[in-house]
């Protein structure tokens, strides 16, 4: 998978938040995975993300995938979340 950026919707509990996703194939020691960064989610969403709820992303083509947090959440200079994640299952097409 070539790296790409796409509009997406982050689905957490009953929340649906528009975000920008930067995606790429990763090659950790355990074999290839896909993941990236989600940008643009409001800062108060951090509590929901860290509660262990099912986290899904709906890509611009309508497909949905499950993701899990890859590290501690950060915020940008405007207070929006930057979410590093790893995807589960088949990677979205770029």
Domain presence at residue 60: yes
Domain presence at residue 28: yes
The enclosing H or E element of 49 equals: helix 46-49
Q: Tell me the CATH number at 53.
A: 2.40.10
Q: Which domain holds residue 16?
A: 4-87
Domain presence at residue 92: no
Q: How many domains would you assign to the chain?
A: 1
Q: What is the pLDDT of residue 27?
A: 72
For residue range 12-51, what is the model confidence (pLDDT) as tens digits? 888 898 999 988 887 766 666 788 888 888 877 777 777 7
Domain presence at residue 19: yes
- Give the residue from 90, 89, 84 showing the smallest Cα distance to 41: 84
Burial class (CB in 10 A: 0-12, 13-18, 19+), 69: middle
Domain presence at residue 93: no
């Amino acid at each position: 998978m070539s790296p790409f950026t796409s509009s997406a919707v982050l689905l957490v509990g009953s929340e649906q938040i528009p975000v920008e996703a930067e995606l790429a194939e990763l090659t950790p020691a355990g074999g290839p995975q896909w993941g990236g960064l989600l940008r643009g989610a409001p800062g108060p969403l951090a509590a929901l993300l860290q509660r262990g709820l099912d986290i899904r992303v709906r890509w611009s083509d309508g497909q949905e995938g499950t993701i899990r947090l890859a590290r501690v959440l950060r915020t940008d200079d405007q207070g929006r979340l930057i979410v590093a994640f790893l995807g589960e299952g088949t990677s979205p097409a770029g």
